[in-house]
Structure 1
Amino acid sequence: MQARSSFEQARASVGHRIHPALFYSMFVLLLGGNALLGTALLLHSDIARLWSGKTDQIISAYEDRIAELRVEIDRLHSRNYAQAGDMNLQLQELAQQQEVLLEQHQLVKVLVDKADALGIAPAATPTTAAITVPTTASGNPDIAATAASIDQMMTETRSAMASIASTASERTEGIVSTLTRLGIPVTLPPVEEGVGGPLLAPVEDAALSPAVEDANAVLAALIRYQAARQSIDAAPVHMPISDGYRQSSGFGNRKDPFTGSRAFHAGLDFAAPSGTSVFSAAAGVVTFVGQKSGYGKTVEVTHSSGFITRYGHLSAYMVEKDQRVNTGTPIAKVGSTGRSTGPHLHFEVRRNDTALNPKEFLEAGRQLLALI
């Protein structure tokens, strides 16, 4: 009973606090607000399209945009990869060029050694170190600068080889011209060329590199120059006497020292102290050692060029018959034997038993000496 009385008192208290009309009015307002919010949501463009059956179009539009972004990203990656790939390709090409450069340099070193042995001093030989790739301000490899450096070094290397070939060819032509003027034949190895065979299409991969072709050309020029130099050794163009002499008589008609009348003198006379060394004027074989009328003690050397040199009025022999001698080999001593008025060397150059003017040969020898 007491509990029921308390409940009824509380209900009466609430009834006094909230009027029923106010309660229902608040409920109506809350319901109307929810209705307005729902209408606003339905009128929103994207949400309205979702509710109006256009969901597939919106999803498709977003997917298209995402696809465009992916394509753009792939394009950027592809550009970077292309640049990196192109750079790597250029670096590979530079590495190949450096290999060619090193090949050229090795060939030049070999050719310079051979040229030096023949007395040819080529242009300065380029030194080839490992190529380092410089970088630009942005830190990327400076391909253009590296390529220009390699091109310059390759040009210098080929220039060095061309210098050797040019010098060798010029000297060869000078030797041939001088000796031909004296009637001395010069035999040079021919330039190697194809002489026959089936006609086939060229094979690009089988072609020699420019470095090897240049080296072959230089080597051919050096071989021909070496052959020309060997022709000089067989030509009687070298002085048969060195220090302490003077030319006392020339070639041709002169006043005979014994008769006082004009007579033909078949050689050159070099006045020198008795015992002065006499040298072979060219490489050859000793074909006469002994006394010869008017010449006294005489030595004759026959040369492969077809000439014979005669050395007269000697005091002593230093060679024997059939002995092979080189240019400058000591063969005798100056004397005054035979038809002579004092110690001197009588020097003759003969061909087919005809005396030729030795002065022309010795002057040619001085020119050749200056040339080589």
Structure 2
Amino acid sequence: MSLRASSLKTSRQKTTKGRRPASRYFITLAHGDDIKCIAIRPWALYLAGGVVPLVALLTIGSAAYSLFHDRMLQALMTRQAEMQSAYEDRLAAMRTHVDRVASRQLLDQDSIENRVQELVARQAQLETRAVVVASLADSAGLEANTSTPLPMGRPAAKNRQANQAIGGGFVQAPAFAPLETRDAPALKALERSLAPQKPRPEPIVEDTTPETLPLRSGKTSDASSAVPLALHLAEITAKLDRVENLQVRSVNQIAVTAQRKTAQLRTALASAGVSLDRFTPARQASAGEPAAVGGPFVPLKSDSNGSPFEREVIRQQDQIILAQRLRQALPFIPLRRPLSSVADVTSPFGARTDPFLGRAAMHTGVDLREPYGAQVVATAAGKVVTAGWNGGYGNMVEIDHGHGVSTRYGHMSAILVSEGQQLTAGTVVGRLGSTGRSTGAHLHYEVRIDDEPVDPTRFLRAGAQFFAQR
């Protein structure tokens, strides 16, 4: 069989005006003597050329699909499973992240609550210590506060004169109020804000995509708000540290000031010829008017290995206790003048010629000259044991100051107290006069220790020196 394509034009074909002969493709089929010619138009050939490859492709595709259908389906299912597993893994990771963030928030919340509770407890401890500092200052006869260091200088002259007038050797310190800090309301506000139930993370919605998965709990406690809160707590802690350091310095300054005053009084008593051991709490109980105090002995709880405040209290407590003893005893020591001004000494203590008999005699006191009717005051606190006429003393008042110390005031023109009366230093006991064995208006002033007369000028000089140092 042979194929031949040609365009034959017969010479016999007549040309027709306005028409051209159509082109043909011819297929000649020869089989032996038989010859068959098939004419094919061009468009039919083009159509066959396009359809045949398409049919071939469809046939090949159908065959391939039939052969690889199961394998492709398995690959698609595997890919889908891998994508599902990856999504679930990512979702689980996001859940773990949310749980970790929520747990960290709860831990931060617990930590902040614990810090607030510690600060509140520490503030209460500082308030208690402020009362202790006040008690120590009051025991030592000093003034103190928690806002400024204790003054180390001498008190003003006006306060010193007023203190001498009432018979106190030290400035009387008022009781402390509990420690007040500007951060107390802040601590309480923090405590109230942390009181509600702790936040819990929200449940995760299963169909939520990782891009929109929530990372916060329902209640606001993110890190941005925790940072200022932590800074505020640190600031409060620093302020409480400063208050604690101030209390430690206050205890130290109380002890230093008490030691200085104790040394001054010890020197004054030594110059007066009196031992400091005489003025003990046991002896003071017999002074006639002890303070109405009592209760079981409970030692101050302190630890030498404890806080700086406790160590400072332990280190300084002996000085403060000694200052307390002397402060309690000082009003009963006759260190003040019996007259309001410095009087002339007309006859000192000791041996002299008796003004009436002209013979040697022992003068048991000191004669002080002032105008007639001048006020005579008690030189120390105590109890009046004698108030009336007493032989050569004339009108005399004797005061028992306890500790074996007593004073006598003779030759007065008037007595203004009565026996058994409790007096404070500076109380007017009478008027200067010239009763009894007297040659003129003056005051006979005696100081007796264990009922033995001693030189009163030693006490007057010691008192002047002591009060001048203050």
Radius of gyration: which is bigger? 2
Comparing 309-318 with 25-34, greater Cα deviation is found at 25-34
Per-residue CA deviation, residues 273-295 of structure 1 (Å, 9 max, x unaligned), is: 12111122222221122334443
Comparing 217-226 with 22-31, greater Cα deviation is found at 217-226
Name the residue aligned to 2:378: 280
Per-residue CA deviation, residues 125-184 of structure 1 (Å, 9 max, x unaligned), is: 275123389xxx966523554344222322333345445544555566655973673553
The answer on whether the counterparts of 1:314 and 1:334 sit within 8 Å (CA) in structure 2 is: yes
Name the residue aligned to 2:228: 142
Name the residue aligned to 1:31: 55
Instruction: Work out the CA distance in 2 between the residues paired with 1:49 and 1:239.
Output: 126
The answer on whether the counterparts of 1:175 and 1:368 sit within 8 Å (CA) in structure 2 is: no
Matched pairs, number: 337
Instruction: Work out the CA distance in 2 between the residues paired with 1:239 and 1:40.
Output: 134
Per-residue CA deviation, residues 226-267 of structure 1 (Å, 9 max, x unaligned), is: 665332223333332223634555444567767888765433
TM-score computed with the length of structure 2 as normaliser:
0.55
Instruction: Work out the CA distance in 2 between the residues paired with 1:108 and 1:246.
Output: 51
Instruction: Work out the CA distance in 2 between the residues paired with 1:55 and 1:250.
Output: 130
Comparing 109-118 with 339-348, greater Cα deviation is found at 109-118
- Higher share of residues assigned helix: 1
Quote the sequence identity (%).
27
Name the residue aligned to 1:152: 238
The answer on whether the counterparts of 2:140 and 2:254 sit within 8 Å (CA) in structure 1 is: no
Name the residue aligned to 1:317: 415
Comparing 99-108 with 270-279, greater Cα deviation is found at 99-108
2:181 to 117, 128, 142: 128
Q: CA RMSD in A?
A: 4.9
Name the residue aligned to 2:87: 66
Instruction: Work out the CA distance in 2 between the residues paired with 1:175 and 1:87.
Output: 54
| 1:26 partner amino acid | G
Residue 318 (structure 1) shift: 0.9
The within-5 A match list for 1:157-236 is 157-162=243-248, 165-166=251-252, 169=255, 174-175=261-262, 178=266, 181-187=275-281, 192-193=298-299, 228-236=326-334
| 1:30 partner amino acid | L
Per-residue CA deviation, residues 44-85 of structure 1 (Å, 9 max, x unaligned), is: xxx999527456653453344224423442354345335433
The answer on whether the counterparts of 2:396 and 2:409 sit within 8 Å (CA) in structure 1 is: yes
3-state SS in 1 of match to 2:235: helix
Instruction: Work out the CA distance in 1 between the residues paired with 2:275 and 2:129.
Output: 34
Name the residue aligned to 1:12: none
| 1:181 partner amino acid | S
The answer on whether the counterparts of 2:133 and 2:251 sit within 8 Å (CA) in structure 1 is: no
Instruction: Work out the CA distance in 2 between the residues paired with 1:328 and 1:315.
Output: 18
Name the residue aligned to 1:205: none
Instruction: Work out the CA distance in 1 between the residues paired with 2:318 and 2:59.
Output: 107
Name the residue aligned to 1:99: 120
The alpha-carbon distance between structure 1 residues 70 and 362, as it changes in their structure 2 partners (threshold 3 A), is: farther
The alpha-carbon distance between structure 1 residues 223 and 185, as it changes in their structure 2 partners (threshold 3 A), is: closer
The answer on whether the counterparts of 2:399 and 2:407 sit within 8 Å (CA) in structure 1 is: yes
The alpha-carbon distance between structure 1 residues 231 and 27, as it changes in their structure 2 partners (threshold 3 A), is: same
Name the residue aligned to 2:164: none
| 2:299 partner amino acid | E
Instruction: Work out the CA distance in 1 between the residues paired with 2:66 and 2:83.
Output: 21
TM-score computed with the length of structure 1 as normaliser:
0.67
> Where in structure 2 are there 5+ consecutive unaligned residues?
1-38, 148-178, 191-222, 283-293, 301-305
1:88 to 94, 97, 109: 109
